[in-house]
Chains A and B, each alone.
Chain A
Amino acid sequence: MKELIFFAVVGLCLLVVQCCVLGQIFSLEYKPDLALLLVIWIGLKGDYIAGLLSVFFLGIVEDLLSGASLGLFPVIYLAAFMFSAYISLNFDVESFGLSWSITIVTCFISFCIIFAARWLGGQILLEPVIIKLVFVKTISTSLCLIFLKPLLNSSWKGYCKLIGAA
């Protein structure tokens, strides 16, 4: 339960930052997906059930706050979560290099799926600019891990201390 509350509060804060603040700093093409970083962080952390549920609802909220069809982000976020959870089970993910590599791969695949879904839905045409967009979004999002990961780690530690959990 304590994990769910933490993920929900952090998810809400990150989505508000994404909606209102990042747009003032980055242009739309470069705007990082902080919610996806949170999903990967939850997956690497290893709280499976709480992670699954919070990631699913985070996806629905992201759907409602973006132009996506309802259900697109929950599926993508669940896939990203399960991928990073699988990696964390089988490898040592404490090193920054590995977690960054996982983030880059997950972001790249997630953005590819989003554009593929839009293309399959007849909403967009496959243009060279799409590839550029995927790369740009992947780089900008994964670069944000540099400051977001320590921030999430320290917030989690502070939260655990606050509620008196181990």
Chain B
Amino acid sequence: MPRSIRDLIIAVILVSLGLIMLFSSFEKGQSGTFMSMIYSVFKPINQTVSFIQGRSVDVFNSYLWLVNVSQKNRDLTEEVRSLRSQIVSLREKELENKRLKEVLELKSRLDFPTLVAQIIGQDASGLFRTVLVNKGSDDGVLPDMPVTVPEGVVGKISRSSNVMAQVMMITDPAMSVDCRVERTRDRGLLSGSYSYSCLLQYVSKGAQITEGDLVVTSGLDGIFPRGLVVGKIQSIRSSEHGLFLEAVVTPAAKLSEIEEVIVILGIQGGFSIEPGLESKR
């Protein structure tokens, strides 16, 4: 067989294979052997590089930027005193809050089992809004599980292998979260956008939402438990056809700065939606 024909056949086979993978439903989110193998190779390398990065930042912060340290030290000592008194007060409030919750027999939204994972890599291409975390299906992390930080929602698990998982963030245009405006209880669909961080769409035209309103998850998409903070409304406008309102939302979590995330280990495929509970919030 002439070499040029052989080369052409190999090229056609590889391109066809790529197209078949792209157009088939081959990918189900959870890992196959090949994906696990790739992630197993990358996890220790990524983790080591992240560790070295963290250390080098520490070295800079601890030794090289020692300007005005004594003044800062005095300020911080003062702040610690003030914070200690606040902690005592908050502990009292926490205990009171806990007792009241028990009395009302309302299940706390943080009752879900959770797992802390470390971010060990960003999206390789930079064209998608995803990050890699160092926990996988061996730790119970499965596709569609919500990912959050104390400040607010981060996204959901889009892929998982036994050692690593990929998180699709709320700023990715392929991501959608069913949300409510906390103050007015109006519903909308929040999705990522390249133009803005996030866009809350399909909000009813008559909704009395204003800038600065808090947006929380509604729990009706079957993935995110209700009541998690997503972000704040930055601006409001009428949708393209004028049927709905649209709001630009700034995510509560500083997505570019987070280093650790909390994965909510619910049932794979989301949380059960219990009708009637919505109104009890």
Q: Which residues of A does B touch, CB under 8 Å? A: 12, 15-16, 18-24, 26-33, 35, 48-49, 52-53, 56, 59-62, 64-75, 78-79, 82, 111, 114-115, 117-118, 123-125, 127-130, 133, 137
Scan residues 8-26 of chain B and give those whose CB is less than 8 A from a CB of chain A: 10-11, 14-15, 17-23, 26
> Quick one: which of A24, A70, A118, A129 has the most chain B CB within 10 A?
A70
B130 at the interface (CB under 8 A from A): yes
Binds A, one of B80-88, B118-126, B205-213, B220-228: B118-126
**Distance A127 CA – B192 CA, assembled complex (angstroms):** 13
How close is B48's CB to chain A, nearest CB, in angstroms? 9
Count contacts between A and B, CB distance < 8 Å. Answer: 146
B232 at the interface (CB under 8 A from A): no
Whether B124 and A65, one on each chain, are in contact in the complex, defined by CB atoms closer than 8 angstroms, is yes
Whether A19 and B7, one on each chain, are in contact in the complex, defined by CB atoms closer than 8 angstroms, is no
Using Cβ atoms and an 8 Å threshold, which residues of chain A touch B39? 64
Whether B22 and A15, one on each chain, are in contact in the complex, defined by CB atoms closer than 8 angstroms, is no
B182 at the interface (CB under 8 A from A): no
Whether B11 and A71, one on each chain, are in contact in the complex, defined by CB atoms closer than 8 angstroms, is no
Scan residues 119-172 of chain B and give those whose CB is less than 8 A from a CB of chain A: 120-130, 132, 158-159, 166, 168, 172
B195 at the interface (CB under 8 A from A): yes
How close is A14's CB to chain B, nearest CB, in angstroms? 9
- Set A18, A56, A78, A127: member contacting B195, Cβ < 8 A: A127
- Set A19, A21, A118: member contacting B173, Cβ < 8 A: A118
Dominant secondary structure of chain A at its interface with chain B: helix
Identity of the chain B residue whose Cβ is nearest the Cβ of A59 in the assembled complex: B18
Using Cβ atoms and an 8 Å threshold, which residues of chain B touch A60? 34, 38
B35 at the interface (CB under 8 A from A): yes
**Distance A32 CA – B127 CA, assembled complex (angstroms):** 10
